[in-house]
Amino acid sequence: MIAAISVNNKIVVTISDFSHPLFRLERKANGEDSYLTWTASGFCVPDESNPAVGVSGDILDTSGLVSNTLYSYRYVDFEKENPADSDYVYSNWVRNGGDKTIGYTFGNYSPAPGTWGTVVTPDDLRFTYLWGTDFKATNGESYTDEQIQYFIDSAVAELERQLDITIKKKKIRYNAVERNLVKGTDYDIDEAVYDFKYSRISRYGLIKTRRRPIAKLHKLELLSRFSGCRDLTATTIVDKTKGVLKLMERPLKPTETSSGIQTAIGMYGNQTLQAQLFYSIDYDAGYETSDDIPQDLREIIAKQAAVSLLNIIGDGLMSGFSSSSLSMDGLSESFSSTQSATSAYFGARIKVYQDEIADYIKQNKNKFANMAIGAI
């Protein structure tokens, strides 16, 4: 794992990986095509007089940083020769100082190479969806980017639950533990095999994956307790949005002739009437990167995060306070807010956002939902 944090126009890079004693660290600025490498004189293009230097743990980067610029870091085993891009571990973008706003609503954000990204940025929340909101509490403390990002991630999880979809890309592998796959590297979620149901498969020729949308189907096999397995990947059509696999090779329907899909029969045979067949599926679910999320879904996630922030920020600004009055020398002044025991300080905006979220879920749940398949 690698993390980068900007502090006082410097960037602290932390590598939390103990698989090798030293790593090759590289940095790239947003808009540049190539990476610079960490050397004894900072980040530059290494040569014989100034070779790459192995690192581990924390590194303080002060090497030629430009204010208001996004940087991404990556590392690889220092001893690995000619590493490919896929061999590296990447950090997200980190902004070095300055006050330039960065986000999808400003048209200047895209995920750092090798990373998934974020649905919206903290600046999107601050300056678009929470425009005009004071992020400082009465004690002068202000919300940090890390705190806002927490609510963005929580909003993603909530919309995944409400819409029954996977948003952030995940590697789904069948029986991953039994296959000795490494969690976090080879897979994210371990799934059981899918039961073979003759009536459903022969009639519809479909398998509904447990998670959707499907980003990529890696392998679909028919497993038999007696006849090994048969790879059906090449003859399967993937409906990515609905999370449906359409099988070209399947048992014949009673109404079909042998000229239809005869290739299916050899493997299925008379086992189709017994509980001896299973489907194993390796696939990726979710959107490839945050750039691929539909714009309307992105906006609803942002509003979901904004609702949570507005509730807490309102309490921080007017904690335990709904009205006050002051009298002096015959003059009086009173003040009342919208906050009460049952009403939030930003209640009007919260209600508007909540209504929009509820309408979106009601109108779009079927768009993302798995199709209903009956059985005979």
Q: What is the pLDDT of residues 41-89, one digit of tens each?
A: 999 999 999 999 999 999 999 999 998 888 999 999 999 999 999 899 9
- Mean pLDDT along residues 229-254: 84
Inform me whether the pLDDT recorded for 245 exceeds 90. Answer: yes
Contacts of 302 (CB under 8 A, 6+ apart): 119, 120, 124, 125, 128, 129, 152, 155
Q: What is the pLDDT of residue 323?
A: 52
Q: At what angle do helices 347-368 and 145-163 cross, to 10 degrees?
A: 40
Q: What is the pLDDT of residue 342?
A: 45
Inform me whether the pLDDT recorded for 368 exceeds 90. Answer: no
Inform me whether the pLDDT recorded for 155 exceeds 70. Answer: yes
Give the DSSP letter string of 222-273.
EEETTTEEEE-GGGEEEETTTTEEEESS-PPPTT--TTSSGGGHHHHGGGGG
- CB neighbour burial string for 224-249, b if at least 16 within 10 angstroms, e if fewer: beeeeebebeeebebbbebbbbebeb
Q: Which CATH number fits domain 2-100: 2.10.260, 3.40.50, 1.20.120, 2.60.40?
A: 2.60.40
Distance CA 287, CA 213 (A): 7
Inform me whether the pLDDT recorded for 294 exceeds 90. Answer: yes
Per-residue pLDDT of 192-223, as tens digits, reads: 999 887 666 666 678 999 999 999 999 999 88
Q: Indicate the pLDDT class of residue 336, thresholds 50, 70 and 90.
A: low
23: exposed, middle or buried (Cβ count in 10 Å: 0-12, 13-18, 19+): buried
Q: What is the pLDDT of residue 370?
A: 60
- Mean pLDDT along residues 157-173: 96
